[in-house]
Amino acid sequence: MEPLIEVKNLSQEFHLTKGLLQSLRFEKGKLIKEDKVVHAVNSVNFQIQKGEVFSLVGESGCGKSTTARTIIRLLEPTGGQVLYKGKDISHLSAKELLPYRKSMQMIFQDPYASLNPRQRVEEIIMEPLLFHGIAKTRSEARERCMDILKRVGIRPEQAGRYPHQFSGGQRQRIGIARALAVNPEFIIADEPVSALDVSIQAQILNLLMDLKDEFNFSYLFIAHDLSVVRHISDRLGVMYLGSIVELGDKHALFGNPVHPYTKVLFSAVPTVGEKPLVESIEAQGEIPSPVNLPKGCYFSDRCPYATEKCRREKPVLKEIEPGHLAACHML
Ligand SMILES: Nc1ncnc2c1ncn2[C@@H]1O[C@H](COP(=O)(O)OP(=O)(O)OP(=O)(O)O)[C@@H](O)[C@H]1O
Ligand SMILES: [Mg+2]
Residue 88, strand partner residues: 83
Taking the CA of 243 as reference, the closest ligand is 1
DSSP at 191: S
Looking at residue 279, what is its pLDDT?
A: 64
For strand 243-249 and strand 235-240, is the pairing parallel, antiparallel, or unpaired? antiparallel
Distance 187 CA to ligand 1 centre (A): 20
Closest-CA residue, ligand 1 atom 28, reads 61
Closest-CA residue, ligand 1 atom 6, reads 14
Distance 15 CA to ligand 1 centre (A): 13
**C-alpha atoms less than 13 angstroms from C-alpha of 262 in its C-beta half-sphere:** 26
Output the pTM of the full model: 0.91
User: Is it the case that residue 207 has pLDDT exceeding 60?
Assistant: yes
Inter-residue contact 207 to 176 (CB < 8 Å)? yes
Closest-CA residue, ligand 1 atom 31, reads 61
Taking the CA of 63 as reference, the closest ligand is 1
Greatest alpha-carbon span in the chain: 72
**38, 72, 241, best to mutate for ligand 1 pocket (most atoms within 8 Å of CB):** 38
Rounded CA gap, 10 and 93, in Å? 18
Ligand 2 (single-atom ion) residues, CB below 5 Å: 65
Cβ-based neighbour number of residue 226 at 10 Å: 17
How confident is the model over 229-265, as pLDDT tens digits? 998 999 999 999 999 999 999 999 999 999 999 998 9
How confident is the model over 276-317, as pLDDT tens digits? 555 667 778 888 899 989 899 999 999 989 999 999 999 999
Rounded CA gap, 129 and 193, in Å? 25
Mean pLDDT, residues 141-170: 94
**What residues contact 289, with CB distance under 8 A and at least 6 apart?**
none
Find the helix packing angle between 121-131 and 138-151, rounded to 10°. 120
- Residue (of 83, 91, 110, 77) closest to 186 by Cα position: 83
Strand order of the β-sheet with 36-48 is: 36-48, 5-16, 79-84, 87-88
Closest-CA residue, ligand 1 atom 1, reads 14
Distance 190 CA to ligand 2 centre (A): 7
**What residues contact 11, with CB distance under 8 A and at least 6 apart?**
39, 41, 42, 43, 44, 77, 78, 79, 80, 242
Mean pLDDT, residues 106-135: 90
Helix (H), strand (E) counts: the chain: 11, 14
Distance 38 CA to ligand 1 centre (A): 9
Distance 48 CA to ligand 2 centre (A): 19
